[in-house]
């Protein structure tokens, strides 16, 4: 095993990252000075579109078919051999167990053959630390993690130190976008489709609920909003929805989501500032963070609260291997390596609930 320095300033670290938690097969090589030396990503969108969602068996098979090639291409682009690496990181959970096992098995094999440290990365931690890769954001910061499977507000205090202020009590926000898009005939994935349609819509036309708005705490709820969209569609005149109906409903839905996020984040910011008055960053990450309207609304909230909004580029908001490699570097520096008998975890919460909230 190589002699790995744990200095935060060490630019010589090189870690291979592997991401197979859902329907993206990805490999990347990242350096300790935050450079992405190489990145390969294969989308499975075409394979899953006919089903209106992700089919776990199809996803796992695609990972098996393509992961070794993507790793080979990433290493070649980086101009490195496995002997030049200081560790191999792979998503260990949460996610679809079949895909997680493919990625972890590959990472274990590389680590075992080449004598490298294994770094089993929590997928949510990858998102949580992505702002440090792209912007060098200092600890501590407040994180809003919004994706297809997760919606959380977390205080990120250090690598491995996460305090969860709130989470969804029912549906994740990305899932809600997908279901709304499906009901409106916009297809999959729903988030980008809803955002595109909303650009031509009137957000004031339909009165949709703002779940939990005005209530204490930082938890989220989107199930009722999803149901309200269905009821609104059913209340319209029978027949095919017009282009304007769809646009207006998407705009109204998106505004309702933004109002809910803004309210919940406002409560979290108060808790965060009380605990860390010197901190100045609100980070938004995860696939839904790619939504431009939501970013604009959160930017206004952050500015009004005296915080800077940090949002990684869209390509690093969705699932990617660069964030996994970077989280591996952060964990390697902290001495947080894993044994080769690590078992993939379909469920793996990030941090403990914050009792004081």
* End-to-end C-alpha distance for the chain, whole angstroms: 43
Query: Can you tell me the distance from the alpha carbon of 284 to that of 287, in angstroms, rounded to the nearest whole number?
Result: 10
Q: Map residue 187 onto helix, strand or coil.
A: coil
Query: Can you tell me the distance from the alpha carbon of 186 to that of 44, in angstroms, rounded to the nearest whole number?
Result: 18
Instruction: Among 1.10.10.10, 3.10.20.600, 3.30.420.40, 3.30.460.10, name the CATH number for the domain at 141-311.
Output: 3.30.420.40
Query: Can you tell me the distance from the alpha carbon of 250 to that of 6, in angstroms, rounded to the nearest whole number?
Result: 48
CATH 3.30.420.40 fits 14-134+318-353, yes or no: yes
Q: Are 318 and 23 in contact (CB under 8 A)?
A: no
In tens digits, the chain (357 residues) has pLDDT values of 333 334 434 888 999 999 999 888 999 999 999 999 999 999 866 776 776 777 878 888 989 999 999 999 999 999 999 999 999 999 999 999 999 999 999 999 999 999 999 999 999 999 999 999 999 999 999 999 998 788 999 999 999 999 999 999 999 999 999 999 999 999 888 999 999 999 999 999 999 999 999 999 999 999 999 999 999 999 998 878 999 999 999 999 999 999 999 999 999 999 999 999 999 999 999 989 989 999 999 999 999 999 999 999 988 988 999 999 999 999 999 999 999 999 999 999 887 665 433
Q: For the chain, what are the domain ranges?
A: 14-134+318-353, 141-311
Same fold, 14-134+318-353 and 141-311: yes
Query: Can you tell me the distance from the alpha carbon of 191 to that of 180, in angstroms, rounded to the nearest whole number?
Result: 9
């Amino acid at each position: 095993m190589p002699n790995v320095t744990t200095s935060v300033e060490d630019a010589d670290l090189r870690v291979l990252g592997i991401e197979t938690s859902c329907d993206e097969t990805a490999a990347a090589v990242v350096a300790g000075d935050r450079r992405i030396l190489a990145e390969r990503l294969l989308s499975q969108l075409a394979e899953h579109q006919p089903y209106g969602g992700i089919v776990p068996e199809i996803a796992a098979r695609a990972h098996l078919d393509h992961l070794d090639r993507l790793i080979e291409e990433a290493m070649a682009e980086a101009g490195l051999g496995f002997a030049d690496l200081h560790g191999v990181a792979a998503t260990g959970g949460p996610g679809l167990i079949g895909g997680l096992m493919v990625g972890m098995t590959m990472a274990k094999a590389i680590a075992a053959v080449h004598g490298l440290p294994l770094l089993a990365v929590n997928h949510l931690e990858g998102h949580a630390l992505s702002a440090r890769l792209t912007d060098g954001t200092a600890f501590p910061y407040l994180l809003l993690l919004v994706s297809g499977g997760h919606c959380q507000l977390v205080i990120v205090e250090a690598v491995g130190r996460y305090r969860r202020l709130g989470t969804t009590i029912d549906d994740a926000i990305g899932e809600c976008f997908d279901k709304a898009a499906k009901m409106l005939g916009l297809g999959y994935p729903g988030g980008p489709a809803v955002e595109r349609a909303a650009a031509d819509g009137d957000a004031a036309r339909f009165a949709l609920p703002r779940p939990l708005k005005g209530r204490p705490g930082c938890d989220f709820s989107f199930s009722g909003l999803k149901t309200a969209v269905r009821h609104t569609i059913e209340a319209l005149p029978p027949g095919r929805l017009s282009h304007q109906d769809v646009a207006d409903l998407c705009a109204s839905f998106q505004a309702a989501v933004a109002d809910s996020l803004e309210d919940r984040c406002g409560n979290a910011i108060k808790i965060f500032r009380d605990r860390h008055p010197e901190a100045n960053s609100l980070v938004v990450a995860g696939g839904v963070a790619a939504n431009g309207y939501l970013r604009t609304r959160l930017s206004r909230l952050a500015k009004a609260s005296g915080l800077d909004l940090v949002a990684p580029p869209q390509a690093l908001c969705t699932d990617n291997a660069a964030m996994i490699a970077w989280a591996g570097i952060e964990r390697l520096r902290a001495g947080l390596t894993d044994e080769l008998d690590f078992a993939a975890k379909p469920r793996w919460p990030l941090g403990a609930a914050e009792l004081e909230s």
